[in-house]
Every structure is written in structure tokens, then in C-alpha cells.
Structure 1
């Protein structure tokens, strides 16, 4: 951080912050409630939900380009080799990823965008886009997570145990995220309230992502350096 030899600002001092579009990553273990949180967030705000690419087959009612971009395995890996993905990961026997074109088109158009991805993808996004805001959604405890997965009743007991084991590892890796938010039972509204507060706080933070103009600022005879706060 560099200092500012402030002096006395003139009456017409203007502070101008150039906001970049928000790149928001939301992750969390299966059953934490991240999908519901993203859906509610998108209903409240003008924010684009990224559509991921996957090699798995479409499920009943799913549409290509709406729910996922459905790609064959060879085509997916060809795009990986071409550097077409902002992030990608293999989960069980299928691959999932976010196309760079999806992210960069939103940013070029000045649109906020949210990516609902796992921690592997979150790490890749942080490396590629250091200014991204990473939020991790947590269950209140592992017993609650188990109960939520059992309530779904969409998997075998063995599959649920594998998900719980994966959740433990994912939660440990979630420490690299900027914020962790606990999604308590029947409190989705409150959870999304906190996510919105985090977004607004992040927008107001003086970081290297903001171009700061000190128009009309008189700094006396000393150096006139801007302050930079990094995360």
C-alpha cells in the first residue's frame, strides 16, 4: 500500500470509481443450498447465470443451452486443449466446465455474472480472474447435510456416503474463498440477503480492480500517490 500526501482538497474534488462487472463464484457441497441461493439471487438482481458445459446426457426436461451446453466427450476435450474453458473439472465419469466465451461476453457487455461451480473450478477462476468474488455456501453441520441428501431420495445410500465424503474435502478446500456463508434451515431468504450484502461491500472496497480518478485533488507539494488496498 502506498500513502497519500493529502494536503487540502479543493471544493470541486471528485472521487470517481470505475466499477467493473461482477464475476461471482458460488460453491458449496451438494445439499448446502447453493443452487437455490443462485436462483433466488438471479430473481432479485440483474445478474446472468452462467450455463455450464457437460459431457453427461440430458435429463428429462433439460434443454441444450438453457440448463447445460451438452457436448460429447471428444468435443469437450478438444475445447479443453484449445483453452476454451475458464474452468473445468471431472466429476465421476463426466466433465463439467465454464466456457471462457460465456464469461468474457458478459464482461464485455457490462453484465454481472454468477458461476455455480465446485472448488476445483473456483481455484481455476481465481487464477485466471483474480478480481472474482468467491463465496462458499456451508450447511449448518454435517448432520443437516446428511438429512438434506436423504430427503432428496434420488440416490442410493452408498452414493450419499460418497457425496458426504466429497463434501468434507470440499469444505476444507473452501478456505481459499473470500467469504463463507452458513445456509441455515428454512432461511434461504436470509442467506441471499447476506450474499447481497457481501456483493455491495465488495463493490465499495478500494481494490486493484477499481480505476480510481482523483479529479481536482490538490496534494500540495508532496507526492500524489493513490492508495491501493488488496485483498
Structure 2
């Protein structure tokens, strides 16, 4: 089987991380670990939650995409993707839609695009509150240009991405099982 990466995109609160966790537990599909220059938070582990870098080590990686957020650098590298592929020919990564476009441009058919969304936008705010995000952080996120951009699938990815409407977790898991089993027969 050719090596592929499931690119999980969608707005905050849609359930991208839940999907990544589910396919890791159910199918053994590892998640690509990304890089950051921010300090490690309590409970985080290097090489598990992120590859924690300084500016010099960050500059030595071969990034597929990178962003600067809050004065810190974040990115996904070919090195991280290759490490995930060394464990399984199929890996996953959570990105924004801009990152998804970049993966599509660089990896072509190796990027299996999944756009995770919900039918009602109001549900996203409820989920952010339920997961414990601070009220001020939620308001900032919901008004951001990135959040608004990720509310819909970019035209460049239409007819290329699988759309998963995550309104009901049981239905979502069934759809995911069908996608993976239908493609790989696991």
C-alpha cells in the first residue's frame, strides 16, 4: 500500500482531534506529531504532544506548512510525517483548511482529505465551552479570520475532500469505519 496521510480539517469544535484519537485507537493509525517553539506545558511530553524546538532546530526541519501564532512557531515537517509512516503506511494529521490545501498541493493523492464539520454553527461554540475553553479565548477564536475561513471547505478542495458531518458521534464513527474499511479492508 502507498503511504498516505488523513488530513483532518474543519472549524474549531467540529471534532477533528476526536476523530484522530478514534482512528488511532480503532485502527492503529498514528497521528503526525507537529513542531513548536513554544514552551512545554505541564503534562505535555516532548516527542508525544509536540516536538519542542528552539528557533535553530526548527529552522533545520523540512516543513510542509508552518505558522506563527502568538509569537511561537508551529509546523508539520516531512521528518514528522516520515516518523509516523515508519509506524504505519497510513497516518493522520489535524490541520486548518489552509494547511490542507498545502498538503494537497505537495502530496497530491498521498493526502486523503477529510473535512469535519457540523450542521449548525452554534453547536461549535457549545462544544468549545463544554471542552473547558475560557470564555474570552472562545470569543477571540470565533471572531478570528481563521475560524471563519475554516467554516467552509475551500473551493480548491471541493470534490477532493470527504465531508464528515459530526452531529452524532455514533454516526460519525460508522462513517469513519466505512471509509477506512472500504479503502483498506481493515
Q: Which TM-score band applies after superposition, normalised by the shorter structure? A: 0.7 to 0.9
1:113 is displaced (CA, Å) by: 0.8
Q: CA deviation at 1:106?
A: 4.3
Match of 2:115 among 107, 132, 136: 136
Candidates 152, 171, 179, aligned match of 2:131? 152
Residue 197 of structure 1 pairs with residue 160 of structure 2 = no
RMSD of equivalent CA atoms:
2.3
1:179-199 deviation line (CA, Å, top 9, x unaligned): 111111xx3232132123233
Between structures 1 and 2, the one with greater helix share: 2
* TM-score of the pair, normalised by structure 2: 0.83
1:182 equivalent to 2:160? Answer no
1:162-193: CA deviation from partner (whole Å, max 9, x where unpaired): 21133221123445251111111xx3232132
- Deviation of residue 54 (structure 1)? 1.1
Deviations along 1:204-224, one digit per CA (max 9) or x if unpaired, are 9xxxxxxxxxxxxxxxxxxxx
Whole-Å separation in 2 of the counterparts to 1:125 and 1:137: 16
Q: Is the 8 A contact 1:136 1:174 kept in 2?
A: no
SS at match of 2:176: helix
Q: Report the secondary structure of 1:172's partner residue.
A: coil
**Change in 2 beyond 3 A, CA 1:114/1:55:** same
User: Of the two structures, which has the highest relative contact order with CA contacts closer than 8 Å and spacing of 6 or more?
Assistant: 1
**Which contiguous aligned blocks of 4+ residues in structure 1 show a shift greater than 6 angstroms?**
none
Q: Does 1:85 align with 2:63?
A: yes
Match of 1:48 in 2: 30
Matched, 1:122 2:100: yes
User: Does the CA contact (< 8 Å) of 2:67 and 2:75 recur in 1?
Assistant: yes
- SS for the counterpart of 1:149 is helix
TM-score normalised to the size of structure 1?
Answer: 0.68
Aligned residue among 12, 33, 44 for 1:30: 12
Q: Structure 2 vs 1, CA of residues 79 and 52 (structure 1 numbering), >3 Å: closer, same or farther? A: same
Q: Which runs of 5+ in 2 are unaligned?
A: none
**Offset of residue 70 of structure 1:** 0.8
Residue number in structure 2 paired with 1:57: 39
- String of CA shifts for 1:4-48, please: whole Å, max 9, x gaps: xxxxxxxxxxxxxxx313321111221111111110111010312
